[in-house]
Amino acid sequence: MRKAELVGFEKFVIKEVPDPEPGKGQVVIRVNYCAVCGTDLEPFRVLKEKNIDTRYISGSMNLWAQMTGITMYQLLGHEISGEIAKVGEGVEGWSVGDRVVPRAYGGYADYVIADVKPAGLFSGLYRIPDGVSMEEAALVEPLSVAVAAVRRSEMKLGDRVAIFGAGPIGLLILQCIRAAGAGEVFISEPLKVRREVAKKLGADEVINPREEDPVERIKDLTGGEGVNVAFECSGVGEVLRQAIEAVRVGVPEYRSRGRVMVVGIYPKPAVIYPNWVVLKNVELRGTLAYNPPSAPDDEFKIALTLLKRRMVNLKPLITAKFPLERINDAFREALEGKHIKVLIHP
């Protein structure tokens, strides 16, 4: 089979490697689509930019690498949809041809191996419901990140929400908070393409932070109050300040503390004046990825239910598809910010 291997800066090489064989409790999946995640782009940024604290090689990829003992480069390609091609010994309830989303990695290839039993973050297999396309299914993993962020935010029915950064995760959070019954939703995003999609997907107000101060605008739109919850999805220090400023001042006796959800991954340290949080009585909460598949609330399952019930629409997010041979072009264009979500198909 073919496999794209990252061998240097902005350089994938398509290699011919032996077809994988499923071990006990495993299946081999023929990859239909593998989406490019922001974290897949990180090795490129790391190699390109200086001043990056390598202990946190900009976030989740390195953390996952530490947690799993797998190198960062091997982890590339984890937003996968496909069909079961081979079933290993001891696997029950799954057969060749089943349409699935695996918790797996190495998806820039013809085939991937997946562990059927949920044993860790990268194990477990989910059936794709009828009526959900393979393209949409490839985005179940990032949708799970958004589902987890929204559930952990404890947003309540009718809450006003601000989202800073309308990249894939910001746009998925937008759809999840709509499904969860958010009131007015305001989005701050510098890129026009993304602002347009945000508007289409139900944002009440889209703000271009290069033209106006998003904090001022959000204050105006909420009668000076600010929002109940702000999601910071940009990974930019200055924007984290804006998110803290955009939430309302906490009134403990009414349990109405504003909450900032830190979702973005920061390639550089951010400067925070703790009084922004303390004097406003604001809660600052981080959220990374999603629960392991063995947890009671498996966000992959929730994401698939939202898709099945058409409570989210992933199609407007998919703005490009590239064959595996053109993976270098796909990554270059993704890095240039030309697309919202790019799919690779072997």
Angstrom CA distances, 194 to 127, 165, 167, 319, stand at 30, 9, 7, 11
Token pair for residue 80? 């996968």
In the bound complex, what is the minimum distance in angstroms from residue 87's beta carbon to Zn ion?
A: 26
The strands making up 185-188's β-sheet, listed across from edge to edge, are 205-207, 185-188, 161-164, 229-232, 259-262, 283-286
Q: Which residue's CB is nearer to Zn ion, number 37 or number 215?
A: 37
Q: Which residue's CB is nearer to Zn ion, number 60 or number 242?
A: 60
Q: Which residue's CB is nearer to Zn ion, number 168 or number 226?
A: 168
Q: 3-state secondary structure string, 195-263?
A: HHHHHHCCCCEEECCCCCCHHHHHHHHCCCCCECEEEECCCCHHHHHHHHHHECCCCHHHCCCCEEEEC
In the bound complex, what is the minimum distance in angstroms from residue 63's beta carbon to Zn ion?
A: 13
Q: Which residue's CB is nearer to Zn ion, number 27 or number 37?
A: 37
| Residues 346, 106: Cα–Cα separation, whole Å | 12
**Site map for Zn ion, 89-128, x if CB under 5 A?**
----------------------------------------
Q: Which residue's CB is nearer to Zn ion, number 103 or number 160?
A: 103
CB neighbourhood size of 95 (10 A): 10
| Residues 3, 112: Cα–Cα separation, whole Å | 10
Contact 35, 138 (CB under 8 A): yes
In the bound complex, what is the minimum distance in angstroms from residue 291's beta carbon to Zn ion?
A: 15
Residue facing Zn ion at closest CB distance:
37
Residue 4 makes contact with Zn ion by CB under 5 A: no
In the bound complex, what is the minimum distance in angstroms from residue 169's beta carbon to Zn ion?
A: 9
Give how many residues touch Zn ion by CB under 5 A. Answer: 2
In the bound complex, what is the minimum distance in angstroms from residue 37's beta carbon to Zn ion?
A: 3
Q: Which of the residues 131 through 150 are near Zn ion (CB under 5 A)?
A: 142
| Residues 214, 212: Cα–Cα separation, whole Å | 6
Q: Which of the residues 22 through 81 are near Zn ion (CB under 5 A)?
A: 37
Q: Which of the residues 185 through 244 are near Zn ion (CB under 5 A)?
A: none
Angle, in degrees to the nearest 10, between helices 237-246 and 214-221? 20
Token pair for residue 302? 């929730």
In the bound complex, what is the minimum distance in angstroms from residue 20's beta carbon to Zn ion?
A: 22
Contact 138, 130 (CB under 8 A): no
In the bound complex, what is the minimum distance in angstroms from residue 58's beta carbon to Zn ion?
A: 14
Q: Which residue's CB is nearer to Zn ion, number 34 or number 132?
A: 34
Q: Which residue's CB is nearer to Zn ion, number 56 or number 94?
A: 56
Contact 306, 312 (CB under 8 A): yes
Which residues sit at the interface with Zn ion, rule CB under 5 A?
A: 37, 142
